[in-house]
């Protein structure tokens, strides 16, 4: 567990060939909080050709998980689709972060990949 996590290889695929939301392409963060305190998460996004954006904020209850679709993040601005990004997640309490991507751009194909985010520090 760590209080800071990095995802260097984000890229929300644009488009999909199925119904929303089950078969829409997405990136997703899965956050596990095993502590007895709420994790007030802050998320910053980094791009190749633009200044960082954030913080995006969400909470993960004590002893709970939360799945957050990157596509759904709109405040302070919508995350840019079909562009490479990296993100850094920070929490006042230790959490575990997994990164998932679903790509449904090819008809009849659903590609789902997952990996652990990288703990920082």
Q: DSSP per residue over 10-78, as a string?
A: E------SS-TTTTS-EEEEEEEE-SSS-EEEEEEEEESSS--EEEEEEEE-TTEEEEEEGGG--SSSP
pLDDT one-digit tens code per residue, 85-112: 999 999 999 999 999 887 765 666 666 6
DSSP label of 79 = P
Fold of the domain built from segment(s) 4-119: Hypothetical Protein Tm1070; Chain: A (2.60.290)
Instruction: Give me the sign of the Cα torsion angle 49, 16, 31, 59.
Output: positive
Instruction: Give me the sign of the Cα torsion angle 23, 24, 25, 26.
Output: negative
* Confidence (pLDDT) at 23: 63
Q: Is residue 13 pLDDT above 70, yes or no?
A: yes
* Confidence (pLDDT) at 16: 64
* Confidence (pLDDT) at 60: 98
* Confidence (pLDDT) at 99: 93
Lowest model confidence (mean pLDDT) among 52-56, 97-101, 112-116 = 112-116
Q: Is residue 17 pLDDT above 80, yes or no?
A: no
> To the nearest whole number, what is the mean pLDDT of the chain?
88
Nearest partner of 38 among 23, 60, 57, 56, judged by Cα:
60
Helix (H) or strand (E) holding 114: strand 111-116
């Amino acid at each position: 567990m760590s209080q800071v996590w990095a995802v260097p290889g984000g890229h929300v695929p644009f488009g999909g060939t199925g119904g929303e939301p089950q078969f829409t392409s997405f990136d997703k963060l899965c956050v596990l909080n095993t502590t007895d305190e709420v994790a007030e998460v802050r998320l910053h996004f980094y791009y190749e050709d633009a200044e960082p954006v954030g913080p995006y904020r969400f909470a993960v209850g004590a002893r709970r998980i939360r799945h957050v679709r990157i596509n759904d993040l709109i405040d302070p601005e919508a995350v840019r689709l079909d562009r490479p990004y990296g993100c850094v997640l920070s929490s006042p309490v230790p959490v575990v972060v997994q990164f998932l991507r679903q790509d449904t751009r090819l008809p009849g194909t659903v590609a789902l990949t997952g990996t652990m985010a990288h703990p920082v520090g």
